[in-house]
Amino acid sequence: MTGATLQAIRYQRGSLEIIDQLLLPHETLYIPISTLALGHDAIKTMKVRGAPAIAIVAALSLAVVLVDPSTVASGRLLTAQGAVVFIEESLEFLKTSRPTAVNLFDAAHKLAKGVREAGAIASAKGQDVVDKYLELAEKMLEDDVKDNMNIGRFGAEFILKVWKGGDDLRVITHCNTGSLATAGYGTALGIIRALAGQNKLTHAYCTETRPYNQGSRLTAYELVYERIPSTLITDSMASALLAQNPDKIAAIVVGADRVAANGDTANKIGTYQLAITARYHNIPFIVAAPSTSVDLNIGSGKEIHIEVRPAVEVTTLRGPVVEVESISKGSNDVVFKTHNGQDVTETIAVAARGIGVWNPSFDVTPAELISAVVTEKGVVLKEDGVQTFDMKTFLTSH
């Protein structure tokens, strides 16, 4: 049922390439990330997105810079202290690319701590500090894939355990949480992938995920790529889908940008409304997130800063132009307009001129509406009669 997993991040020491997700699904283009500025821009402009992937790309961007001949020639890495300062300053700069991504901040903290410890050794030289950073950053890439596969396994086991329906098992997901959002395999989409790999999944539904359309552009792209039976719906169709398929939808599975200590979860805008409809229809609502997305320093979702993005993301759409005649046929087999063998791409306005726009990137789903939080360490559940999760106790005991 599934084919080869998409590789969105290509890395070997001294070289980093990522798929430019702004061009998907119509063009698959790997772009090189050779400077801190390019890494920062890729994250800020959402050429790469998804909390785990953001952290990995930031870490590897600096890894590439540290072995670049121009950086070495600058002399800033000659001494251990100089190397530590350069790395810490670089990480602080990269953190400004996405202020809500807890994975990015967590990765930066761990990397900075590691190089400070390496630099504190009396005999340490600049290269020793650089080598330590490279070791830590490259291990993050390796560990993320392993963690995602564990999330997929634990999540699939949980769904199969609580599923009371028959062989027709279907799942809904929101935004993009697959290989494009992580170092590989995915979190929520990893659970779907694990179910499909066991031949337990009949169908997956992905929401369009306005206004940036990560569902229609990215998740749909991955589902088609891996040959998982799937259907695209708009965000506003989810409740109708649940109402018309009461015995077929096993769960709604989403990712997380940040999970508070009590389980409140910040995720792509539209997640909260899915949790509400899941509760009404008595469908498990599952959050899939690595432990690095859990911020034990904040007690609840009220403390999570929500990024508000530009209005133009709501009022415009960009994509390849299609021939009008092909649209009238009513199928998805549209004909793209080309020029010199290349698709013609345009940005169009889809809203009335002068209308005000509110464009929060995330919303916060209260823990009360979440059935389970699936991490690489296992499934976190609430105690009987308790409306919140004890994330700290779970993570420190596993």
Q: Judging by DSSP bridges, how do beta strands 230-233 and 203-207 pair with one another?
A: parallel
Burial category of 330 from C-beta neighbours within 10 Å (exposed 0-12, middle 13-18, buried 19 and up):
exposed
The pLDDT of residue 3: 52
Q: End-to-end CA distance of the chain, in Å?
A: 33
Packing angle of the helix pair 80-95, 51-66 (nearest 10 deg): 150
Active site residue 257: yes
As a whole number of angstroms, the distance between CA 312 and CA 343 comes to: 23
What's the whole-model pTM score? Answer: 0.87
**Cβ distance 287 to 352 under 8 Å?**
no
For residues 92 and 388, what is the distance between their CA atoms, to the nearest angstrom? Answer: 33
Alpha-carbon separation of residue 335 from 51, 221, 323 (angstroms): 35, 18, 6
If you search the block for the tokens 């490259």, which residue do you land on?
138
Q: What are the φ and ψ backbone dihedral angles of 343, each rounded to 5 degrees?
A: -60, 140
Predicted pLDDT of residue 84: 98
Buried b / exposed e across 101-137, counting CB within 10 Å, b at 16+? bbbbbbbbebbbebbbebbeeeebebebbbebbbebb
> What sections of the chain are H helices per DSSP?
36-44, 51-66, 69-73, 80-95, 102-119, 126-162, 188-197, 214, 220-225, 238-244, 271-280, 312-315, 324-327, 391-397
Q: How many Å is the Cα radius of gyration of the chain?
A: 22
Q: How far is Cα 36 from Cα 76, in angstroms, rounded to an integer?
A: 15
Category of 381 on φ-ψ map: left (φ > 0), alpha (ψ -120 to 50) or beta: beta
Query: Sign of torsion, CA 16 22 24 29?
Result: negative
CA atoms within a 13 Å half-sphere pointing along the CA-CB vector of 28: 9
Q: Mean pLDDT of successive 10-residue segments in the chain (398 residues)? A: 73 96 90 98 92 93 97 94 98 92 90 97 96 97 94 98 94 95 92 97 98 94 95 98 95 96 97 98 97 94 93 94 77 81 90 97 97 98 97 96
Catalytic pick among 106, 147, 257, 295? 257
Name the token pair of 224: 């088609």
Angle at 251 between CA 248 and CA 256, to 5 degrees: 155
Peptide bond into 52 cis (omega under 30): no
Q: What pLDDT was estimated at residue 330?
A: 64
Yes or no: say if 142 and 71 are a contact pair by the CB < 8 Å rule. no
The Cα 219–Cα 50 span in angstroms is: 12
What is Dmax (Cα atoms) for the chain?
A: 73
Residues in contact with 269: Cβ distance below 8 Å, sequence separation at least 6, in sequence order: 360, 361, 362, 363
